[in-house]
Amino acid sequence: MPGPPPAVAAVRVAVRRALTQVPLGPPTAEPLLLVACSGGPDSSALAAGTGFVASRLGWRAGAVVVDHGLQEGSARVAQQAAALCHELGLDPVEVVAVEVVRTGEGPEADARRARYAVLADRADALGARAVLVGHTLEDQAEQVLLGLARGSGARSLSGMPPWRPLDAAADPGTGGALLLRPLLGVTRQQTLQACAELGLEPWQDPHNVDPRYARVRARRALADVAVDLGPGVVAGLARSADLLRDDADALDAAAETAYLGMGDPPWEAGRLRGLPRAVRTRLWRRAALASGSPGTDLTSEHLLAVDGLLTRWRGQGPLHLPGGVQASRTGEQVWIGRPT
């Protein structure tokens, strides 16, 4: 008996690998997975692949469709996506309308924040073990390219992890729902082809070709680079992300060991000098975040300035970090926290 078409098989294999290699724990009575489905090609292919694979592994598969309300007719598109999920056998399927709050970080960031809040809420309410999202190989490469353009460090250049706690602030050991990205090794063309082979008619989001969005501009730039350097550039950027993620994880572990050994600030300058700068900057970041500095505003420039208290100190006064946090040095003591 012939197997499924190649693109359909690629999606199903990717979903099966994610569900069997990620620490979800064994399926229990009525275990549930949720697919975040917009009705576009990537999430539609993911919904189809999850619906096929999950039941064969002992899982139930449902879906959440988030209506951001950012386009005319968004409610209709959301209902069509929900209908598609029902046709694919997913249950339950929920449509949730959300108000995207403008924060000044840009429409993409604002919509993403609202979307993930909904996904975390519905996963908790429905008792889902994981939420699956449809980011592809090209999405990963675009993420790395954007990080390069911003001059980001290894953690940012490591792209999107294959899985993480759905609540980014949660401890991975608390047993909360996970966010899974099964399709990071699957191309956008494969998801389009999978939809065609399954007879699905996905929605084409006009925002995906709107140059006002940074990701769209990165997509176009990546296509131009691929013309000049060859089609392997997309896979190469994604592979670099995987390698840098290993490096970033190792540095984070080294910083955690150093933090546990030194305790909370203030810290002895002599002990800090014996650490690599990549470890020290992670210590500065951890201490600043623990004191209430918002991670979205804390930049590499801030962290390098704090490191200057160790390497270029001439008695200068305290540094002011986002969120009312300060970094200062007195003699051989370096301190980060809120002023008393």
Q: Which contiguous run of DSSP H or E holds residue 214? A: helix 214-229
- Cα–Cα dist 335/269, whole Å: 10
Q: Are strands 319-321 and 163-165 parallel, antiparallel or unpaired?
A: unpaired
User: What does the DSSP assignment read for 220-251?
Assistant: HHHHHHHHHH-THHHHHHHHHHHHHHHHHHHH
Angle, to 10 degrees, between the axis of helix 137-150 and the axis of helix 188-197? 160
**Residue for token digits 């572990």?**
253
317 annotated as ligand-binding = no
315 annotated as ligand-binding = no
**Residue for token digits 């390219």?**
145
Burial environment of residue 217 by CB neighbours within 10 A (0 to 12, 13 to 18, 19 or more): middle
- Helices (H) then strands (E): counts for the chain: 12, 10
308 annotated as ligand-binding = no
State the Cα angle at 304 between 309 and 290, rounded to 5°: 85
156 annotated as ligand-binding = no
Phi, psi dihedrals of residue 205, rounded to the nearest 5°: -70, 120
Phi, psi dihedrals of residue 36, rounded to the nearest 5°: -85, 110
Annotated binding site for ATP: 38-43
Annotated binding site: 38-43
